[in-house]
Structure 1
Amino acid sequence: MYRSRYFNIDELQKVDEAVKISEELVNNFFKMSSGQWLRNRYDIKTAKDLDRHEHVHGPFAQVIKYEARKKEMPLGSSSYTLYKVCLQDDAILSTVQKKDLLLEPFLLYILSHELVHIIRFSKYKQRYENKNESDVTLDEERLVHLLTYEILKPFPISGLVKVFEFYKDWRIVNRLEL
């Protein structure tokens, strides 16, 4: 029986640092004010803290959209959208090992990528629900990879060039809609 691996304490510290850096870089790239930033509208969780339906095989992370409401506010009009970034520890750790990548820049790329998705969903640049629109979804994914690259490329982070090489085929965009 296969057991999933979870981030250890040292790796969780690297996740935490990558979250802080990716939030700052993505926020600066999109030139959002602190009032616009999505701090209260998304959450980032590692595999150990995910519900069963939030685990996926293959991707390194996924964004799930939830409708949330404060407990003391029972009315539907007080609901808000909450995006949850679900990191898939085992997939990340396996790829880092197999492809000889450094964990820190790989996490930075993954988290920046997912935050770009959230910003595009929240600004309605891309619909969250894209059922039966595989071409649109593929174009969107490629565009988000391109934006992630543009966000991170100015920063000389050790190991990031190798991560860019890993994702190079995803930066090909058929039509650019920013």
Structure 2
Amino acid sequence: MADEGGFDFPKNCERVPFVEEEIVVLRQSIEISEELISDYYKVTTSEWKRYRYDIQSLRDLQEEEVTDSAFAQIRRYLRCPNERLRGSEPGDYFKICLQDHVIRRALRRDPKILLLPLTTYIVTHELIHVIRFAKFLQRFLVSPTERDSEEVRVHELTHRLLHRRKIHGLAEVLSAFRDCRNMENFLGAVA
């Protein structure tokens, strides 16, 4: 599978997790993205608890959650592994699995692209998917044609939410990925 820039990913490429300085930047990206999503979808702090999701980078992923073909992989589980649910509560839990090594490859390939704006773009994009799945605005398991349509919608919405944000280097990210159609993989529910 080719990445967003049209390059093929090598099989078994070096999978090095983010270092602490990069994790700090990633946390900033998550804060920015959650704020944008909160404003756009009118999600209050208490409502965020209804959306069962987690964002993890390579260091905390299981082998089956790692891919070399996308910036992120969204996994849907029947429940959060660390959470006990009552019988009446829905159990969908979405895990955004960031692929540090793929993100780094994009940074090396294009020196104008910086980590903060790129991860802000990726996390915003993924959180839009999670909210759309959780609010039943989009089904998780769909045909490839429906998935492509959803990717176009989420990609356009991500651009709309970010294009006025003042983040150093964001204009370069938005320009570099303006025709991007596939940011992640979706994998169905597992126990």
1:106-145 equivalent positions in 2, closer than 5 A: 106-130=118-142, 133-145=143-155
Identity of aligned residues (%): 34
1:16 aligned residue: 27
**TM-score, length basis structure 1:** 0.86
Q: CA deviation at 1:147?
A: 0.6
Q: Give the RMSD, CA atoms, in angstroms.
A: 2.2
Alignment TM-score, normalising by the size of structure 2: 0.81
What's the secondary structure of 1:115's corresponding residue? helix
Aligned 1:93-172 pairs, distance under 5 A = 93-100=104-111, 101-130=113-142, 133-170=143-180
Contact 2:14 2:101 in 1 (8 A): no
Unmatched 5+ residue regions in structure 2? 1-11, 182-191
What letter is aligned with 1:54?
Answer: E
Asked whether the 8 Å contact 1:57–1:91 carries over to 2, the reply is: yes
Q: Unmatched 5+ residue regions in structure 1?
A: 172-178
Say if 2:92 is the partner of 1:81: yes
Would you say the 8 A contact 2:114–2:169 is kept in 1? yes
Task: Give CA-to-partner distance per residue, 1:40-69, whole Å, 9 cap, x none.
Answer: 611111011101110111100011111116
Count of residue pairs brought into register by the alignment: 169
Cα gap change, 1:92/1:106 in structure 2, threshold over 3 Å: closer, same or farther? same
Secondary structure of 2:48's aligned partner? coil
- The structure whose residues are more often helix, as a share, is 1
How many Å separate the matches in 2 of 1:51 and 1:39? 24
Single out whichever of 31-40 and 142-151 deviates more from structure 2.
31-40
Change (3 A) 1:94 1:80: same
Specify which structure has the bigger relative contact order, considering alpha-carbon pairs within 8 angstroms and separated by 6 or more residues: 2
Q: What is the distance in 2 between the residues matched to 1:107 and 1:54? A: 18
1:110-148 deviations in Å (ceiling 9; x for gaps): 000000000000111110011xx1111111001101111
The one of 65, 69, 88 equivalent to 1:54 is 65
The answer to whether the 8 A contact 1:96-1:102 is kept is yes
Q: How much does 1:6 deviate?
A: 1.2
